Amino acid sequence: MNKLTAQQDAYGAGMDDYMRGKPSYEIVERDDGFFAVSGGPMFYFKDYPDWPDFQREAISLARGRVLDVGCGAGRVALYLQRRGMDVTGIDNSPLAIAVCKARGVKKARVMSVTQLSRRLGVFDTIVMYGNNFGLLGGFRRARWLLRRFHGMTSLAGRIIAESTDPYRGRGKPDPCHLAYHRFNRRRGRMGGQLRIRIRYRRYATPWFDYLLASKKEVARIVRGTGWRIARFFDSQGPHYVAVLEKEGRK
């Protein structure tokens, strides 16, 4: 999904309202008709002490020059800046980038994940928090983007990416989600490859693919891209962070 127009920027409009103290929310609509209210703007503004343990533990591995992919309201970039790190945040939402800058993020650019290339520079760490491994979209695009990330990172490059296992949950599996996994597989997609759009008030993003993947699926995606899984940081639920490092790195 490329740069959002003003009418498409549902995600950023909700964040902008939240920053200004107005009531705000975020609705996720799926292509099978399912919709839900997400954690929303409040989540994007959380300070480091309020992050879940697995996120706080994993971010300790960030080093050098950092690229924050899908930076949202800048919570990761601001934390790493305070640690003295050189951080660049990118997001396809112009309003999200405006919010980042208003909150003090020094380097923030309107850019989609598919526009990333070595022209932006060489990074030591790529962070994809807030389930933003999902921005890789699907199996083929994820492998293509991981190879691109390989070319724009240093020899000791590292990816710290959060995802959600769509097949795990607390309690009994939701029949609505199970049916969607089957629906996806019938059309040749990964079970957790969502086709969604974000809505807020009269704003609506275009439809886009957003991937939720199990650890086994992440391992299958990563194989042969020049990356390897170094470790996982687990939560008590289906959320986790995968740390990828370059193959051959000692």
Average pLDDT over residues 192-209: 97
Identify whether the C-beta of residue 214 lies closer than 8 Å to the C-beta of residue 234: no
Q: 167 vs 139, 187, 193, 234, CA distance in Å?
A: 17, 18, 12, 15
* CA–CA distance, 19 with 13 (Å, rounded to integer): 10
Domains and CATH numbers, the chain: 10-246 (3.40.50.150)
pLDDT digits (tens, 9 = 90+) for 22-67: 999 999 999 999 999 988 889 999 999 999 999 999 999 999 999 9
* CA–CA distance, 54 with 242 (Å, rounded to integer): 10
pLDDT digits (tens, 9 = 90+) for 72-84: 999 999 999 999 9
Beta strands in 169-237 (DSSP E): 193-200, 203-204, 208-211, 227-234
Tell me the pLDDT band of 114, cut-offs 50, 70 and 90: very high
